[in-house]
Amino acid sequence: MLRLIKTGDWLVLLAGMIITAWLFAALWQGHAANKAVVRSGGKVVAELSLSENRSYLAHGPLGTSRIEIRNRRARVAEDPSPRQYCVKQGWLSQAGEAALCLPNQVSLELTGAKKLYDSLSY
């Protein structure tokens, strides 16, 4: 089988792999976030800079969610929701990432200089 592949075929295959790797690095990398947007009940309640370490308490129908910002990353540290999905989301660091505490109607989203689109909003 390898005898049927000529030198030109190998060059085309190598060029295709190089172009694919370059496109992946250029187009799929996340952009740095510069602020965290906290919503409660669908309304923006805070826009927090990621440049300073702090905690923020967001109030929802089930209770209080604690948002933590450390080292230019943000997370939902505590939430009264039963399954704790937004807490399990962990640290967010790239623009466009979000943690949603749906039962408590609190969300955390990171934004940056560039607006990223996903397959749902495209």
Q: Write out pLDDT tens, residues 44-68.
A: 999 999 999 999 999 999 999 999 9
Q: Is the pLDDT of residue 117 over 70?
A: no
% residues pLDDT > 90 (the chain):
66
In the structure, what pLDDT confidence band is assigned to residue 118 with cuts at 50, 70 and 90? low
pLDDT score, position 14: 95
The predicted model scores a pTM of 0.71
DSSP string, 23-90: HHHHHSSPPBEEEEEEEETTEEEEEEETTS-EEEEEE-SS-EEEEEEETTEEEEEE---SS-HHHHT-
Query: Mean pLDDT across the chain, nearest whole number?
Result: 88
